[in-house]
Structure 1
Amino acid sequence: MSNIAGKAYAMNVITPIRWYTVWLNKLIFWIALKKPSTLKGLITLSLIHYARWVIIGRKQFPHLDPKQPREELNYSYMLFFSNFNGSWDQYVDSFTFAIPGGLDLFWKWNIRYPKSVPLTPFHNYIRYNQIETIHYYNAYPLAASNDIKSAKAVKDALIAFQKQPLDASDEAFMKRYNALVRGLQHDLGEMHPTPIISMSAYQVQRRQRWHDGRLKQEIAEQAMLDRGMELANSTNSKGEQHGR
């Protein structure tokens, strides 16, 4: 599975929608763009990189060759794309709690949409219609969305600091520098590899280590450590018996 790249997860959901209600969905999307306050709960979720809804009409799928049979589709399709940090359940639950009414509006006319509440039917609906990602590239695999925002804040602050006059006294410079560091305290965190958020992610990482040769080395090193511990315990046990 390639849904996971570093700390990010890629979600793709394709759901059928009645073709004669597409115009209603597009109107709702237009209103949401014109009034961002309708998505305020979603925008405040820091774990989300982005979220996008797109509707493809039943006659808009590409026809690549004259020999390709024309598709007679009964439905149009709504595509939902999103990247986020954290586990699948955390993300879907956060969406439900942040904009339950918005989700119901966006998916209202989709076939067999169960509503966002209660959670279990909504989870089942998303799982059933989710398409696995074949390839997923992440430019900053160790960075969550908040790390990227912090990096931008640090960069902007350093550029502004550099533009200040250089003819000030040492005391004045140190005062400005200390103020800069204090102001960036919440943006100077160290990044670390992602924790295991699912067994799927664990297996992806394990396979990668195996192909790199790291897993064999780790297994051999662990075996040596275990053998060393056995010998040490055996020696200690014999020493205790001899002391008696």
Structure 2
Amino acid sequence: MPLPAWDDPELKSGTMVRGALWLIQVVGEGNTFTKEQIRKAFPRVSQADRRIRDLRDYGWVMLTNTEDATLTAEDQRFIKVGVPVWDPVARRAATPQKAISNKEKQAVMARDHYMCTICGISGGDSYYDDSNQTAVLSVTRRKTVLPDTSEETLLVTECKRCRSGADGALARADEAIAEIKSLAPGDQRRLLRWIERDRRGSTQLERAWNSYRRLPADARDEVRSALEG
């Protein structure tokens, strides 16, 4: 079914729906837009930019200069379409749940050591493959299959980049257990020690490699020469 036109005068929808269609039909995924463009597109609507921000509650991803240093304070980048909010059935099914309280957010972030549970980055750190972006952490809901195969929605800490790249797949504790049980007994015991310490262990070889990699390039050359000599 073709999408309705965002500026169709016969479209009986609110600004959030029209804004979603405008993002798709005018801006396009991967492109930037400004508050001034929003004001021009919706000239008689107060706080139209807020209505468009509300799309984030439905899985739409838009970055600001806080997450993408290549943007100005006025710019936003439209990254990904979320729930088709122009479809009443889809919108009702995805109506945002009760907001996560600040107390809950702090408790979850502290539990997760203020790191993204997917990629491990800390809030405010730059991504190793894109120094223009810094990590912004948030607490989100993740549908999870527990070991007894029951489903539950749990709170986790994620960075916005991992969240925007998520495919919506369930987190599966049952599959994790099956994979762990397939390990050799020695590897299972080693993994259990990591779990008890809540951090991955490292071998002497890995520690030596990390020490070498932390050196400046000239110092690494000296180390290499010393070893080869």
Shorter-chain TM-score tier? under 0.3
> Which structure is higher in helix share?
1
**Whose relative contact order is higher, 1 or 2, with alpha carbons under 8 Å and at least 6 apart?**
1
TM-score normalised over the length of structure 1: 0.20
Point out the structure with max Rg over C-alpha.
1
The TM-score normalised by the length of structure 2 is 0.21
